[in-house]
Amino acid sequence: MKSTPTKKARASKNGRSPQSDGSKPARWNLRLYVAGQTPRSITAFQNLKNICEEYLKGQYHIEVVDLMQNPTLARGDQIVAVPTLVRKLPQPIRKIIGDLSNTERVLVGLDIQPR
């Protein structure tokens, strides 16, 4: 799971892997599972990026996993629905499904805002 160089490479090439600080490990480790470059995946990524920039600037790392290309990865994080955002860090793992259009709920889901 840790080794997803293709994803990272592709993501960074598209300028979709914003990382606040390359040297310091991110406090927020997020992984977004999508299935292909569908409008919904793109929307989800955009929404996520916006939220992170606004609330977690400089402390987050986003990894995008395309299950179309790597279907085996769906098992590890028990992905059923797409898009699914998985908060790997900080513990505990949390999952948010959907296109992340409701910012309020994303913030609650990520425990950035109290419920």
Specify the residue, 12 or 69, whose C-beta has the smaller distance to other proteins. Answer: 69
Place of tokens 């913030």: 107
Specify the residue, 44 or 64, whose C-beta has the smaller distance to other proteins. Answer: 44
Residue 16 CB, nearest approach to other proteins (Å): 19
Q: Pairing mode, if any, of strands 28-34 and 84-89?
A: antiparallel
Residue 22 CB, nearest approach to other proteins (Å): 29
Specify the residue, 9 or 93, whose C-beta has the smaller distance to other proteins. Answer: 93
Three-class SS state of 111? coil
> What distance in Å separates the CA atoms of residue 113 and residue 61, rounded to the nearest whole number?
19
